[in-house]
Amino acid sequence: MELLKLEKIKDGRYLKNYELTYRNKAGKEKKYEIVSRSEIAGPEAIGKRVSGVSIVAYHEDKMLLLREFRMGVNRFVYNLCAGMLEEGESLEECIQRELYEETGLSVGKVRAVLPPSFAAVAFSDVKTQIAFVEVDGTFEDHTSENEQITAGFYTKEQVRELLETEEFSSRAQIAAYFFTIA
């Protein structure tokens, strides 16, 4: 497989669409579309920039999950607290800000931060990190008028039931599953 050409075909507010021309393993020239949160200067820049964080949060023996309306699927799903890094913001600052904005909670302790990983490799070069944190505080709504989020702490038994009855983002589903068997 060989990437021959990268061309921006649309410049949206949050996503940029690119068309990749590549040579497949049979030697045929093919086209492929991707989206990125970044301006991609050339083939070597694809997938280099970390754009955000997903937060797996715990309070005592409960897991934090958000039930939020996601426009991309036109429904409520269970998700992790997450967000985009702002210009000049450190990962730790992003974790604190997103947690506060979406839940009103604060970080008590950062347990671990995983290396960057791709969020949707089938169609995007978006790269994020996953942070595991302990949280404190009480729930408060600091979301914008464009977000509909209900945050809650769930026991292992409650999470097991949600996994059987509700829809999740894939990262939240994996984190929730491992929470239930730990």
Contacts of residue 142, Cβ cutoff 8 Å, sequence gap at least 6: 100, 101, 102, 104
| Residues 107, 141: Cα–Cα separation, whole Å | 16
Question: Which pLDDT score is estimated for 32?
Answer: 96
Query: What are the pLDDT digits (tens) for 12-59?
Result: 998 999 999 999 999 999 999 999 999 999 999 999 999 999 999 999
Q: What is the pLDDT of residues 117-167, one digit of tens each?
A: 999 999 999 999 999 999 999 999 898 899 999 999 999 999 999 999 999
Question: How many Å apart are CA 132 and CA 46, to the nearest integer?
Answer: 27
The predicted-structure confidence for 65-107, as pLDDT tens digits, reads as follows: 999 999 999 999 999 999 999 999 999 999 999 999 999 999 9
On whether the CB atoms of residues 79 and 85 are closer than 8 A, the answer is no
Beta carbons within 8 Å of 167's beta carbon, 6+ residues apart: 73, 75, 76, 77, 78
The whole-number pLDDT of residue 3 equals: 94
- Residue 40: CA count within 13 A, CB half-sphere: 27
| DSSP string covering the chain | -EEEEEEEEEE-SS-EEEEEEEE-TTS-EEEEEEEESS---SGGGTT--EEEEEEEEEETTEEEEEEEEETTTTEEEEE-EEEEPPTT--HHHHHHHHHHHHHS-EEEEEEEEPPPEES-TTTB--EEEEEEEEEES-------TT--EEEEEE-HHHHHHHHHHS-B-HHHHHHHHHHHH-
* CATH superfamily of the domain spanning 50-181: Nucleoside Triphosphate Pyrophosphohydrolase (3.90.79.10)
Q: Please state the pTM of the whole predicted model.
A: 0.92
Q: Residue 182: what pLDDT?
A: 87
> HSE of 50 in the Cβ direction (CA atoms, 13 Å)?
16
Distance of CA 131 to the CA centre of its chain: 11
